[in-house]
Structure 1
Amino acid sequence: MKPLNAFAEFFGRSFLAAVFLISGLGKLGHYAGTQSYMASAGVPGELLPAVIALETAGALAVVIGWRTRLAAVTLAVFSLLAAVIFHTDFQDQIQRILFLKNVAIGGGFLLLFVHGAGPWSLDAKRRSPRTGNPEQMTEDSP
């Protein structure tokens, strides 16, 4: 693989993950307000700790490239659910933009799910027991 491709893969997945890392950590500082916002959309505020854990742990997993495919598909589903639950007032241009942003991020994570994290990742450091080739390993490989 060309060094520029490895560089682009690392920073591409880091930029995607940054949205969730910043959002998850930000919720800690605005806990009560976030719970109220969730409740206003019909989502129980008691789910907030799980949301924070998913956003921060998922983002960190993507950045370091650990179980990247699993983290990516989970964050893709989360992003698409958030779009449908929180951003469907299409009469409001901001909500329409936020909906499309979440859909685009979900799409980026789906691409990461399909292609994997690339060579600059913990996933690539794990070797397939059959081939020794990190490109052919699976998420379940030791």
Structure 2
Amino acid sequence: MKFLPLAGRILFALIFVLSGVNHIAGAGADMAAASGVPAAGVLVPVAGLLAFAGGLSILLGYKAKIGAWLIVLFIVPVTIALHKFWAFTDPMQQQIHMAMFMKNLALLGGALLIAYFGAGPVSLDARAAAKA
């Protein structure tokens, strides 16, 4: 059972590590700009750094509580700025953005759980605590 938090961390962190790399490279800046995000060419790579650093921290279980707060800092503004499902009149677009909004709420919930409980027993954080 002690490996369940490790599996959960890996599955949770993958989306942030992989998309973080893409955002650092500027992917998604056009979509963000079209959604009204100011200075999207700068803010998207910065958001990518938050996502990548937070995801890597959680993946490794190193300072995972801090990494989870980085994910919170990433996901809240991204969700509000880019997935305004209530602003779409096209039913298909509205449904797609509502699904993305709800997915991000679920990810936010996971990040808050990690921010509270930490990385779990199989992590660099647990290893450091055992040495102390």
Q: Report Cα offsets for 1:6-56 as digits up to 9, x if no partner.
A: 211011111111111121123356x3x522112122222212221221111
Unaligned runs of 5+ in 1: 133-142
Query: TM-score, normalized by length of structure 2?
Result: 0.83
Higher Rg = 1
2:19 to 18, 23, 27: 23
Q: How many residues end up aligned between the 2 structures?
A: 124
Unaligned runs of 5+ in 2: 89-93
Q: Distance in 1 between matches of 2:24 and 2:36?
A: 20
CA RMSD for the aligned pairs? Answer: 1.9
Q: CA deviation at 1:128?
A: 7.5
- 2:75 aligned residue: 79
Matched letter for residue 41 of structure 1: S
- 1:104 aligned residue: 106
1:37 to 28, 31, 39: 31
- 1:52 aligned residue: 48
Whether 2:111 is the aligned partner of 1:115: answer no
Query: TM-score, normalized by length of structure 1?
Result: 0.78
Q: Distance in 1 between matches of 2:15 and 2:84?
A: 20
8 A contact 2:84–2:97 mirrored in 1: yes
Aligned-residue identity in percent: 31
Compare relative contact order (CA 8 Å, sep 6+) and give the higher one, 1 or 2.
2
More helix by share: 2
Q: Distance in 1 between matches of 2:53 and 2:22?
A: 14
- 1:95 aligned residue: 97
